[in-house]
Amino acid sequence: MRIAALLAVSALLPACGNFNQSFCTLEARASVQVRVVDARGTLQRDARVTFTLDGGPEQRALCNGSEQAQGNCDSWVTGYEQAGAYVITATSADGQRTARQSVSVGEDECHVQGQSVTLTLPD
């Protein structure tokens, strides 16, 4: 009998409107994850990747999501949990080839709605 009563009450609780619980996770999500390839699709692990956020100063993307050092990167991350308008630039190791892309990152009540970008360096 008690279980039935508890089930009945718990079924009504969401309808009460006084419960404003958020079920957000504690993870930090990447704002933009970036891969850099050449015209043949070969990963360019030694590229230099930078970005601006909302027209602010140029910043270095994080190599493999955590390191500031460039080189030997499978991917880059522009940072974590930062929504806004990004302009991402990849430059070849020799500085001769550049690719650029704009991307908008939104957010919900818990996290950014991360984007994935592949920049292709021209031949």
Residue ranges per structural domain of the chain? 30-121
Residue 39 has, within 13 A of its CA and on its CB side, a CA count of: 4
What Å distances lie between residue 104 and 20, 91, 108, CA to CA?
Answer: 29, 21, 14
The Cα–Cα gap between 17 and 76 comes to: 42
**Fold topology of 30-121:** Immunoglobulin-like (2.60.40)
Q: How many residues does the chain have?
A: 123
Give residue 3's pLDDT band: very low, low, confident or very high (50, 70, 90). Answer: very low
Give residue 8's pLDDT band: very low, low, confident or very high (50, 70, 90). Answer: very low
pTM of the model: 0.78
Q: What is the pLDDT of residue 13?
A: 43
What's the mean pLDDT when you consider all of the chain? 86
Tokens coding 110: 């818990």
Task: Kindly tell me if the per-residue pLDDT of 116 is higher than 50.
Answer: yes
Q: How much is the average pLDDT of 5-17?
A: 44
Tokens coding 10: 């718990």
pLDDT above 70: percentage of residues in the chain: 80
Tokens coding 83: 């929504």
pLDDT tens digits along 43-89: 999 999 999 999 999 999 999 988 766 678 999 999 999 999 999 99
